[in-house]
Chains A and B, each alone.
Chain A
Amino acid sequence: MTLVYAGLSLGAVYALVAIGYNIVYIASHSFNFAQAQLMMIGAFVAYAGFVTLGLPAVIVIAMAMAAVMLLSAVEERIAVRPVADHQTQLITTLGFGTVLTGVAQLIWGTQPLQVPFPLGSKVLTILGGRVFPVEVALVLFAVLLVVAINLYTRRRMNGLAVIAMSQDEEAATLRGINVRKLAFAAFAVTGLLSGLMGVLIGPKTYAVTTLGAALALKGFVALAIGGFGSMYGGLIGGFVVGLVEQYVTRYFGSEFSTLSVFVVLLLVLLIRPTGLFGRVQERMV
């Protein structure tokens, strides 16, 4: 069971990255390559708040959320909005993410920093498996977040507007939806959530500058398994990646873990390119 818990909690981290990708993707059809770097900054801010400044948890969380939201808003303005096509956005958001990594490296160095978890680090035993409180929190948070987002998009007007926009941007504009404002809001909300995610993943992954690249890619695998735009898909995809990685590390060695995730990605792309919950689009001309 310990292995399952480790896999699920790691998977929750990837699922969170996938959720971040998804919100932006649904709202503006762009792919935010800097998503994982935003979360990484959240983790560093958490480290600064808890360890360097010794602040209480509530303030640290608020701080991380505000800081990352700001960065995300800046990103939308300088790296996404001025660029029309999604292909170039991939490069500019990658550029933004690289700047974030570079700046984090300048401030906090390249050594991994341990971020404490406010609810303690006493090992719990559940159903015969050993698990850290932060790992339970990660899994619960990912599941609840997905459920909440789904409820929100179905029940509220704003949510429906976002869906309308993802279907047809121009049609949404004609129906009086402010597409640009909504896309900006999507980035801001993603930033807010990423700050929170950063605080949560920090204790599990450590705050380290290499986090961005690894999380960006594995989060993408989670997304590819689940299907673009599907929140539940991203969650399940994340868990699959986490479990595969943990099992392969346990039975074959850690040098095979990333390789195995890559194999999973290739298999998914070859067998079911739209992911488990994705839809096919036929009209081309």
Chain B
Amino acid sequence: MKFWAAVRKAPSWTFPLVLAAVFLALPLFPLDYTTSRYIQLSLILAMVVSGLNLSLGYSGQLAIGQAAMYAAGAYTAGLLSKAGYTDVALHIVAAGLAALVVGILTGIPGLRLGSWSLAMTSFFLVLLVPDVVDIFEEHTGGHLGLSGMGRPTIFGYPLTPTDMFLAIVVVAVAWFAIFRNIVASRHGVAFQVLKQSPVLASSLGMSVYRTKLAGYAIGSIPAGLAGALLANLDLYLSPETFGFHLATGALAASILGGSVSVYGALFGAAIVQFSNDQSTVFAEYNLVFYGAFLLIGGVLLRGGVAGLMRTVIRRLDRAAGIVADHGPLESTTVEMPRIDGAVLEVSNVAKAFGGNQALRDVSLRAEPGQVTALIGPNGSGKTTLLNLVCGFYRRDAGTITLGGVEIGHATPDRIARLGVARTFQTPLIPPGITVRDVVMSGRYTLDRAGYFSAILRTPRFHAVRRRDRARADEVLRLVGLAHLADSEASALPLGQRRMLEVARALVREPKVLLLDEVASGLDEAEVQTLAAVIRQIRDAGCTVILVEHNFGLVLSQADRIVVLARGSVLAEGTPAEIESNPQVRDEYLGVAEQGAARPSGASVTVAEGERA
């Protein structure tokens, strides 16, 4: 176990670095042709698979047509070589671009719908490869295949087979370094947020469409690079190489290795390539194997081999007594920096779903530095109103202004970037990332640090990361979750997940904070903490809107209360006024109960049942 503790002290990038060095050193040893070819093809396949991991595993887009991008890259290189341009570096750049163009063009329509439609359009692409190759038969050689490529060169020097081997290793290592730098950055977390819920992503200010497209586009590049390498390795291309066999093989490799992983792609590709290379008798069983991989991987091995590895590492960590370093437990009294709230004004808003008039002629005004509570029975339109403010629904009539500026029919992500943050009735926490990462994801659109700065790890990238981290830790201390910063977020109990959502909303320094039934499911102590946090946010100057069933919390925290009933405003006033309003007591609390709040447990059950 001491050995393990020592191993774990090394930075995480040492192991891939050692692996890369081993690959680069391989030509020093006498390798037979079969082994060397197996390694080269596995690396090429691993690049295709890593593209799938990025689009399917990390961003959750069922873009599974990597075989078509692979073909685009390969034919680009093949045609360039035939035309006399044999420089491999040129091929790689051109092939990457070609794959990117194919990926974007075909991704746009599929991404608008997502899920099955994207799966089908991207799979359809694979079906088109032989047809497109046939249409340009005079250049591509049609189904007979493309031959007549020149010997690969680099800056004028012809490449020997050993050089080609090294070229493949170098490109693969470079790509995996890029891939790792992207997913181990704010962008990687953003992809996972999007995968968990597009609604969440847009409420954090991310453009769902652009993030999806980025995941899909970046995922198509390695397939193009791999295509260029394959073309130069074989100097011959046949459309059959890029058929369904490859498409399902790559998918099987991705699932088997673990889609949400960087190096799982290498492992999956090595296995699939191994089963490809077997004698022809065995090869007949290939499809059966791929199918079985997909089935078993999908049903049993949820995280693939990479997932298994993570579990093993966790176990070993525990055995070796390595525990994530918690830092000192600090008290929750943290100085809140000043927040510039803005007036949120909703005037005469109406919304109908089919024949059901959910809201009619609703107006309210929420001031900075105040808590405005929105209460009402289930179905009175509270959440509908929140969704109108956030832009998830389009209103039928009325205006909504933020700081005096009409927000019009802006998209949810635009409204979020204007300074509206929210929490959700059912906490939306992406699985597999830490508490700190969840909070940091709230700052994704506050500072700009693009993909390139993540890939190159520029000073700007580090600066933004440091600031995100500092702010996240501050907010976590405020809500009392600092000691859990390195735990897996989705495994927290409900109460802590709710607080985490508050932290994620708060870290964006919002002008307006919408809390949607944030106290439901919390125990007495947690409600107290929450009340203290809400007071601090309000005193810092933020405009807080509290949608709540817990009447006690509302009465103690709110500066103004708006009561909704059956889609319109029933009453409005200070807590004292609302508490003594006979209509509200009749409508909301039930006449029999004298002024007291319903037990919060009961109201929670009702609320949960309605939502299911």
Contacts and interface: CB of A to CB of B under 8 A. Distances in A.
Contacts of B244: 213
Interface string A213-224: 110010011001
A205 interface: no
Contact of A103 (B120, B134, B288, B296): B288
Contact of A256 (B110, B135, B286, B296): B135
Contacts of B134: 255
B392 A220 contact: no
Interface string B330-366: 0000000000000000000000010000000000000
B209 interface: no
A262 B128 contact: yes
A91 B251 contact: yes
Nearest to B300: A82
A78 to B, nearest CB: 7
Given A94-B251, A259-B131, A270-B112, A102 B286 contact: yes
Contacts of A154: none
A285 B385 CA distance: 12
A258 B130 CA distance: 10
Contacts of B4: none
A103 B364 CA distance: 65
B94 to A, nearest CB: 24
Contacts of B386: 285
A52 interface: no
Q: Which range contains the number of B residues in contact with the other chain?
A: 35 or more
B236 interface: no
Contacts of A285: 199, 383, 386-387, 392, 424-425
B408 interface: no
A284 interface: yes
What is the predominant secondary structure among interface residues of chain B facing chain A?
A: helix
A83 B296 CA distance: 11
A178 interface: no
- Most chain-A CB neighbours within 10 Å: which of B113, B125, B132, B288? B288
B284 interface: yes
A259 B130 CA distance: 10
B255 A91 contact: yes
B284 A88 contact: no
B121 A87 contact: no
Given A282-B353, A284-B199, A83 B291 contact: no
A217 B124 contact: yes
A99 B353 contact: no
Interface string B98-130: 000000001001101101110111011101100
Contacts of A50: none
Interface in B241-259: 244, 248, 251-252, 255
What is the predominant secondary structure among interface residues of chain A facing chain B?
A: helix
B124 A283 contact: no
Contact of A95 (B113, B199, B295): B295
A98 to B, nearest CB: 3
A78 B295 contact: yes
Contacts of B291: 94-102
B287 A99 contact: yes
Contacts of A78: 295, 299
B551 interface: no
A269 interface: yes
A224 B110 CA distance: 11
B355 to A, nearest CB: 14
A266 B109 contact: yes
A63 B116 CA distance: 32
Nearest to A260: B131
Given A106-B284, A106-B288, 19 more contacts: A83-B298, A86-B115, A91-B251, A91-B298, A92-B294, A92-B295, A92-B298, A102-B285, A213-B244, A220-B120, A256-B135, A257-B131, A258-B127, A269-B117, A270-B112, A282-B353, A285-B386, A285-B392, A285-B424
User: Which 10 pairs, one residue from A and one from B, show the smallest C-beta to C-beta distance?
Assistant: A95-B294, A102-B287, A98-B291, A99-B291, A102-B288, A92-B298, A95-B295, A255-B134, A220-B120, A269-B109
23 contacts: A78-B295, A86-B115, A91-B297, A94-B248, A95-B296, A96-B291, A98-B287, A100-B291, A102-B286, A102-B289, A106-B284, A217-B123, A221-B124, A255-B135, A256-B131, A265-B124, A269-B110, A269-B113, A269-B117, A273-B117, A282-B353, A285-B199, A285-B386
Interface of B: 60, 62, 106, 109-110, 112-113, 115-117, 119-121, 123-125, 127-128, 131-132, 134-135, 199, 244, 248, 251-252, 255, 284-299, 353, 383, 386-387, 392-393, 424-425, 612
Interface of A: 31, 78-79, 82-83, 86-92, 94-103, 105-106, 170, 213-214, 217, 220-221, 224, 255-259, 262, 265-266, 269-270, 273, 282-285
